[in-house]
Chain A
Amino acid sequence: MSVAWSEVMRVSGEHVLLVAAAVMIAVAVGAPLAIALTRRPAWRRWTLATVNVVQTIPSLALFGVLLPIPLVGGIGKRTAIIVLALYALLPIMRNIVVGILGVDAGVRDSALAMGMTRRQILLHVEIPLALPMILTGLRIAIVTTIGTATIAAAIGGGGLGTFIFRGIATADISTVLAGAFPAALMAIAADEVLEWLERRFTP
């Protein structure tokens, strides 16, 4: 193999950090926004439509579009994380909205009629009941981000894509695999762990 083990481990770590940072930003921004949207049907359609459109932009193109923009853009990790977070936003937000709106109307009605506050209904009724759906969104976000993050290397974001691009440039399949194989493994592992969590939290 033309890539040292230690190198694979270091770059895999970088990849994990890219994914973790992007998903955390997506959750931090997307979760409050999604909860707000469940209360405001008028905003819901266009906000989710906008997020949906972002999702359809090819990732390489989105990296390209952001490159010349000051502050968010430029070569490096920051741009990569922002792009990845934008992609993770849709599954996270959509599943929170769908999960919360899917809570049985009678259950929500009873909660209100028993004198629970909006906040109590959200924390003790809506979120627990929507949790399996929310975790599905998180799982989709993490698994797809692990894959998409390989493209970050194209704009100097680092991660396992570094090997893939290098391998393609030098027509060296073992270098390509040194990037692709750990990324695939990572995606499968994340998928399994989160699926277990979903089952664990299904009421």
Chain B
Amino acid sequence: MSAFLQFDHVSYRVGGRDILSDVSFELAEHETLVLLGRSGSGKTTLLRMANRLVAPTSGTIRFDGRDVADFDPIRLRRRIGYVIQDGGLFPHRTAAQNVAIVPELERWPAQKVRDRVAELLAAVGLGEATFASRYPRQLSGGEKQRVGIARALAADPPLMLLDEPFASLDPVTRYDMQLHFRDLRDRFGKAALFVTHDLREALLLGSRIALLHDGALDTIGTPGEFLAARTSEARRFLRTLDPEVPA
């Protein structure tokens, strides 16, 4: 399978500290790679390199076969969906207006934007009549994330970046959203890079899991392979599910 997003010997150093050291991995089309790690492991920095919010100190990131450094960053970012923890919704725009942001930046005709917004609000389970005109402050945490995901899907990007999107949700809502995200991703045929510190979430959503430890790639493999991983950091994560895993 051709690599759709490729991190090639990527390192990042800031203020004399190594945030990432020599990380390489590939993401195929329609695949979800989960970047798993503790706080400060460098997973968010890695994610933000895919859409050039952060530039690596050394190494190359290729999107669709081309070095991202050669892309116009504005064009690149409009082709990649982005969801963060609290949704990052614009508080002065309604749910519908939030979903419409990238299509409007791309100057879609008004009717096409309206149709797309209606389609996506329905797809994420928010009835248009009730939710389209609500402001983010009038939405629950789960509803905000639904709008956030609809917004990221709006301009039909082939790749989505998600940075702990469900971390602040209660466990029941979180599980709901995880299943919902999995359906949407498959239905819309998206590849995703998904950052989390929750192994359960990684196992549920990842076609592969990449474990980062102190800025280096510790383990990478399918959920099945990960469960059999025996590095000390992988075992620390496995013990969060099963305290019987030996240290």
Q: Write the residues of chain A forming the contact surface with B, with a CB cutoff of 8 angstroms.
A: 104, 106-107, 109-117, 120, 125, 128-129, 203
Of B17-25, B58-66, B79-87, B221-229, the segment with at least 4 beta carbons within 8 Å of chain A is B79-87
Which residue of B is nearest A203, CB measured?
A: B92
10 contacts between A and B (CB under 8 A): A106-B84, A106-B86, A111-B90, A113-B80, A114-B77, A114-B78, A114-B105, A114-B151, A115-B73, A128-B92
B78 proximity list for chain A (CB < 8 A)? 114-115
The smallest beta-carbon distance between B39 and chain A, in angstroms, is: 17
Q: Are A115 and B75 in contact (CB-based, < 8 A)?
A: yes
Which residue of B is nearest A108, CB measured?
A: B88
* Residue in contact with A117 in the complex, picked from B53, B74, B85, B102, CB distance below 8 Å: B74
- Count of A-B contacts with CB under 8 A? 57
Q: Are B102 and A114 in contact (CB-based, < 8 A)?
A: yes
Q: Are A125 and B90 in contact (CB-based, < 8 A)?
A: yes
* Residue in contact with A116 in the complex, picked from B87, B92, B105, CB distance below 8 Å: B105
Number of chain B residues whose Cβ lies closer than 8 Å to a Cβ of chain A? 25
A111 proximity list for chain B (CB < 8 A)? 90
Which of B53, B74, B78, B151 has most chain A Cβ within 10 Å?
A: B74
Q: Are A120 and B105 in contact (CB-based, < 8 A)?
A: yes
Q: Are A113 and B53 in contact (CB-based, < 8 A)?
A: yes
Give B140-184 as 1s and 0s: 1 = Cβ < 8 Å from A's Cβ atoms: 000000000001000000000100000000000000000000000
* Residue in contact with A113 in the complex, picked from B51, B86, B90, B135, CB distance below 8 Å: B51
